[in-house]
Structure 1
Amino acid sequence: MVEFFSTLQSYFSVELVRNAFIVSVFISVAASLLGVTLVLKRFSFIGDGLSHTAFGAMAIATVLRLTNSNLFVMPVTILCAVILLRMNNSKKVKGDASLAVISVTSMALGYFLMNVCNVKANVSGDVCSTLFGSTAILTLTPSDVWLCIGSSILVVLVYIFYYHNIFAVTFDEEFAKASGINVNLYNTMIAVISAVVIVLAMNLVGSLLITALVVFPALAAMKVCSSFKKVIITASIFAVLTSSIGMLISIFLSTPVGATIVLVELAVYFIFAIVGMIKK
């Protein structure tokens, strides 16, 4: 045990490891809060679509050799989030069709540009890192860390101050409208928050695994909790616990960060599912 803590201390003496751990905790909390709303509103498809969009935008930013890619990726992803939301409410083109069009096109465009323009020597490695988050989490700059912390805190504050309105919009939009709540405004706000969280989470688990980070905590919490508030709190605890365990396993065993966190979430989810069955 002494040797374990000694090794752990040596790892955390490295700034890159500390930054990665801090970001994983903050992003996991923000993603879990968002996930509860998205799952209950049946908007969880947005996470998958936006992750593919962010990959395409990241590829374009790489081709343009932008110093800070987030300045390009974030606005593009936010715009696509609003478009997906509007198309989901459209009678002509439903959400699943718009998701397929935007996500597949973005992925194809991104991979096409990264290969044709050949801006980096190891294109395959760079694509793998973007898709699965294998190394990006360990190359975070101080500005990236503060951006993740600030954005995550902002998401938490939004849920605290607008809890009742988000609750109403999540469960019954017609009732929310009758109560004088601007439903379109809150849906747009949820879409924008989704885009921000997705872009930030790409550094943690990659664009292909982001959906798990958003959905698993919410689904696990719903297995054991019956109220909205308890689900939010439990989902946050689940997210922090699994991301921390996943990071530690990844550090000690040198496994891919994103894949390790997702597998830990899957394992803990099954535990929650069993507990939920026992309670029933």
Structure 2
Amino acid sequence: MIQNPLSFLNYSFGIYALISSILAGFSCSLIGSYVVLRKMAFAGAGLSHIAFAGVAFGFLVGISPLLSALLFSISAALILWYFQVKRNLHFDITMGILFATSMALAVLFLSLSRTYGATALSYLFGSPLSVDGSDLFILFLISIAVLLFYAFFWREIYLVSFSQEIAKASGYNVELITLSLSILIATVVTLSLKSVGALLVFSLLVVPSASAYRISKGYAEYVMYSVLFGILSGSLGMLVSFALDAPSGATITLVSFLLFLISNLYAK
């Protein structure tokens, strides 16, 4: 039965869920503009599952699942950066290894932590209605952090996105910029788990920017459209989730895919 999605906004949990999806859409799509240009789409899928292994570990040892997820994902981002920059190992190879290892660890941790399995799974599929004020504040902070990083290092990110060689020749510290971006990607993905879920959070990281890439005529326009599509995906997807009483991760992903199709039709 289809419900009036706006009726959920009469309750604080509905407002929190909608705002969290908008913030997740904003931060994921903004940092995702770098991910898509660098052809690192697998990063979102890999880091989200690595973060989920951290969630499972947190429940197992009795610490904050969000904190342990951040530790896992940021550690993975550092490992990825090290092997790619210092050891010249292709990104997909390292990510594939970490992805498989993290899934094995997640299964192991969940099997050992039998009493928290169902709660941990909420991070896999997303549980936006359980988002509270503190979760919202954390999402707001990371959104501001990503925005400020882009504002202060716009030219560096622009050059690194297209050619690290040109960025180096221009005198920029490419290693520091790429390391900072890797940590930001891991943090954004992890903090979006509760709203969207580990299985589908990477859709917000990739699809809005892929849609923007098809219709934009310059880098600034590309980033602007990425953010616009991300916010639309998060907000409309959450409203559809309210209306259909369906998982938010699925509806947000489907809305973002629909926007991708529309952008491709417009591009032609």
For normalisation by structure 2, the TM-score amounts to: 0.94
C-alpha separation in 2, matches of 1:244 and 1:9: 12
Deviation string 1:138-195 (CA, Å, 9 cap, x unpaired) is 1122111100011111101111121111101111111111111000000001101001
C-alpha separation in 2, matches of 1:132 and 1:13: 24
How much does 1:32 deviate? 0.6
C-alpha separation in 2, matches of 1:116 and 1:79: 23
Match of 2:202 among 211, 216, 224: 211
Equivalent pair of 2:54/2:71 in contact (CA under 8 Å): no
Deviation string 1:9-67 (CA, Å, 9 cap, x unpaired) is 5421211111111111111111111111111112222212111110111100011122x
C-alpha separation in 1, matches of 2:254 and 2:52: 22
C-alpha separation in 2, matches of 1:142 and 1:263: 27
Q: Count residues with an aligned counterpart.
A: 266
Match of 2:123 among 118, 130, 153: 130
Q: How does 1:229-268 map to 2 (within 5 A)?
A: 229-268=220-259
Helix, strand or coil at the partner of 2:40: coil
Equivalent pair of 1:63/1:119 in contact (CA under 8 Å): no
- Larger RCO (CA under 8 A, 6+ residues apart): 2
C-alpha separation in 1, matches of 2:74 and 2:30: 18
Q: Is it true that 1:85 corresponds to 2:85 in the alignment?
A: no
Residue 25 of structure 2 is matched in structure 1 by: 28
Larger Rg: 1
Helix, strand or coil at the partner of 2:137: helix
Q: How does 1:117-266 map to 2 (within 5 A)?
A: 117-120=113-116, 123=117, 125-133=118-126, 136-266=127-257
Deviation string 1:206-236 (CA, Å, 9 cap, x unpaired) is 1111221110011100111121100000111
How much does 1:129 deviate? 2.2
- Percent identity over paired residues: 30
How much does 1:198 deviate? 0.6
Q: How does 1:86-125 map to 2 (within 5 A)?
A: 86-89=82-85, 93-120=89-116, 123=117, 125=118
Supply the AA of the counterpart residue of 1:130.
Answer: Y
CA gap 1:105/1:271 in 2 versus in 1, 3 angstroms: same
C-alpha separation in 2, matches of 1:271 and 1:209: 20
> How large is the RMSD of aligned CA atoms in angstroms?
1.6
Could you list the runs of 4 or more consecutive aligned residues of structure 1 that deviate by over 3 angstroms after TM superposition?
7-10, 89-93, 125-128
Residue 43 of structure 1 is matched in structure 2 by: 40
Supply the AA of the counterpart residue of 2:235.
Answer: S
Supply the AA of the counterpart residue of 1:58.
Answer: V
How much does 1:73 deviate? 1.8
CA gap 1:274/1:9 in 2 versus in 1, 3 angstroms: closer
Equivalent pair of 1:89/1:95 in contact (CA under 8 Å): no
How much does 1:69 deviate? 2.3
Equivalent pair of 1:32/1:215 in contact (CA under 8 Å): yes
How much does 1:111 deviate? 1.6
